[in-house]
Every structure is written in C-alpha cells, then in structure tokens.
Amino acid sequence: MNQFEFYSPTKVLFGKGVETKVGAEIKAWGGSRVLVHFGGESARKSGLLDRVEASLNAAGIAFVTLGGVVPNPRLGLVKEGIELCRRENVDFILAVGGGSVIDSAKGIALGVKYDGDVWDLYDGISEPTGSLPTANIVTLAAAGSETSEHTVLTNENGAIKRGYGHPLCRPKFTLMDPELTYTLPPYQTACGITDIMMHTLDRYFSPGGCNEMTDRIAEEVLKTVIQFGKVAMKDPTNYDARSEIMWAGSLSHNDLTGLGRIGDWAPHQLEHELSGYYDVSHGAGLAAVWGAWARYVYKADIMRFARYGVNVFGLALNYKNPEETALQAICATEEYFSSIGMPITITELIGKKIPDEVIAEIAEKCTFFGRRTIGGLVVLDKPKIVDIYTAAR
C-alpha cells in the first residue's frame, strides 16, 4: 500500500424508512434553521418532502425550502440559495435528491461562509473559509456525493462545468433508503450505474504499485454494481438490487476504492465538458467517452486492463497475448454499457455528429484554457484530448 490519507466521517443510516429520522439527526448535529434543497416537483408529489417536513416539525426544527435544482446544477441557483440562507439565518442545509442536489447544497454551504464569488473556489483561484454543515436524503444511486468531499457545478456564463473537492464538503450524515430509487426511469438508473462504475474505474486505471486491498475492494464494487445493475434494469422494485447498487455507489466515491493510487480522472474531465456543453446526463456522457479513452491509453498498462477483464468480467487471461485480454475487457465494458441502454459514442449520446469546432472548443475548455493537462495513466494535452473526442465521435 502506498502512502494515503483516508477521511470519510459521514455517518450513514441505511435502509427502509430512514428518511423519517431526519429531524432527530439534524437536531443531534446542532441544526436549528434548515434549508431543505431539492430538485423537481417529484419530491413533493411522491410524498417524500411531506415526510421530511413532518420529521423536522416533530423535532421542532424551523426550515425554508428551495427547489429547482436541475441535472448539471447551476451556479445561479447556488447564488440564490446563498442569499436565502443569509437572509433566513440558516445554520444547516439538507439536500433531498441525487448528486446534483447534493452538489448544489455543498456549493451553497461553502458560499454562505465565503465573502467573494463562490465560483472562485470551483475555478481554483481561492480557498474556502468555512462551510455550513450539510446532510442529505439520497433519492438516486449514482454520484456518491452523499459521502464524498466533491461537488460539481456548471457556470451558465460560458457553459463551464467544474468539480471541486475539500474536506469541508463532507456531509455530516446521509440517509439512504433504497426504496426511494424504485421510481427512477430506466435511463436514469442506467446513468447512475455507469457513474458508480466510473468513480471506481477512474481510480483503478491509474499509476500505482502494490495496493491489493484497495484493488480488490474496487473489483468487488464493480462486480456488485454490474451484477445488480442488470437486475434493477429488469426489476426496478427489487430491493436487493437497489440496495446493493446504492451502497456500492457510496463506497465507490468515498475514496476507499482508490487508496494508495493517484487517480486518473481523465474520463470524468472529458465528460464534464460534454455535459457542460450539451447538457446531457453525466453517466451517459461517461459511457460515451470511456471506450475511446481506454483504447487510447491501455498500452501504458496492458496487464492492468487484462487483470480488470479477468477479475471483474471473468475473462480467461491470454497468457501468450495479454493485450488481447485487455482489449476484450474494454469491449466487455462497452457491451455492458450498451446492454443497459447507455451510449458508447458521442453520436449516440447527443443524437448527431459532434462538429470539429465543438471538439476544439471543449478540448480547450478541458485544459482550463491551457492551464492544465489531464490524466495520469497517460498525461493528456489538448491535441490528445482532441484525438480522444474524435475517436469517441
């Protein structure tokens, strides 16, 4: 095991009906005036928000609400939330939703304690000065944001999507009721499955020495999501499947599957530009670029791709030609994505051929306008990024 730090202090309450404990938990964490942050009206129509508000009332906790979070959550709503929290003296933020809502809540929580424009943090030009405590009720197994230190926002001004990570962003607690994910449409379920897989894959395919304990947990997270993902696609109210996927989703992004490794994250960064530009689902965008990325970089560590094929997909290792197994593993991943209805090219993702000039534009954005390269297994500059987008076309 290489050097690492691991800090995942978020308390998890998991199982049927845990959302009814939210009032008591917030009280135990010292919250007294809460912002309840959510997405669309489905949270109200399903009765979930009513149950949440009943639990808050029962605990004697005051609250205000702010809905309207959309996929690829927007900076504009975050700024609205910051103003609302300051005006209402909010001291605790509860996100009710999936990764977009949780990420938006984290942005608000940072922004309330920050004097300048909260985008400075996402843009990497400033440091946070505190955060309101946050917690969440998860309604979508995907982002893993419920236990992670990460948040991703889109700045409408320029359609720029940026991820940010800081220990201050770790939620105090998360309430995970797998039954809340029963009503997800198949496409969203599949996007979630892909996102979960990619949080581990982007850690797994990276430079690193002997980190067996980490690699083995990573492989089991992948196998579990792949197996139960198939079940959930066919049988959306299968509790076993929904619950295994949901817990795997948290483990996949609480850092456990990457300890001792550096993390590559190029596929995530390639995708952020796609969904920032075309406003597509993050999970679908990941599926659309991963294969092209993998074929571009696999020669940097053929045996790792081969191991992945053997341990995750049960392929037989070709000892005479492990490269064949490595390529089979990439195919197996794409076949799995296709089998759950995910696109494996950008054309499938956006429904048309991506123009050369858009590739040039998002490749430029992906380098932060020339301020960075991406990737670790292979370091990618703008020409290489253009190559991969083109290959994924």
For a copy of itself, the closer of residues 110 and 176 by Cβ is 176
Site string for a copy of itself, 165-204 (x = CB under 8 A): -------------x--------------------------
Residue 96 makes CB contacts below 8 A (sequence gap 6+) with 36, 37, 38, 43, 48, 49, 52, 136, 137, 139
CA 12 to CA 147: how far, in whole Å?
Answer: 8
Site string for a copy of itself, 15-34 (x = CB under 8 A): xx-x----------------
For a copy of itself, the closer of residues 104 and 211 by Cβ is 211
For a copy of itself, the closer of residues 47 and 209 by Cβ is 209
Distances (CA, A) of 126 to 117, 162, 219: 10, 14, 36
Binder among 146, 244, 301, 334 for a copy of itself (CB under 8 A): 244
Which region among 119-127, 184-192, 217-225, 280-288 touches a copy of itself (by CB under 8 A)?
217-225
For a copy of itself, the closer of residues 206 and 257 by Cβ is 257
DSSP structure class, residue 304: H
Residue 340 makes CB contacts below 8 A (sequence gap 6+) with 189, 190, 193, 194, 229, 230, 233
| 8 Å CB contact between 273 and 161 | yes
Determine the Cα angle at 22 with ends 17 and 25, to 5°: 125
| 8 Å CB contact between 203 and 259 | no
Q: Read off the tokens for 391.
A: 């290959």
Binder among 48, 96, 118, 259 for a copy of itself (CB under 8 A): 259
For a copy of itself, the closer of residues 153 and 226 by Cβ is 226
Shortest distance, CB of residue 244 to a copy of itself, whole angstroms? 5
Q: Which 3 state secondary structure label does DSSP give 375?
A: coil
Binder among 22, 69, 93, 246 for a copy of itself (CB under 8 A): 246
Give DSSP secondary structure letters for 98-164.
SHHHHHHHHHHHHHHT-SS-THHHHTTSS-------EEEEE-SSSS-TTTSSEEEEEETTTTEEEEE
**Does residue 303 belong to the site contacting a copy of itself (CB under 8 A)?**
no
Binder among 164, 228, 278, 290 for a copy of itself (CB under 8 A): 228
Which region among 3-11, 31-39, 108-116, 339-347 touches a copy of itself (by CB under 8 A)?
3-11
Residues that bind a copy of itself (CB under 8 A): 1-9, 11-16, 18, 178, 209-210, 212-213, 216-217, 219-221, 223-224, 227-228, 240, 243-244, 246-248, 251, 259-260
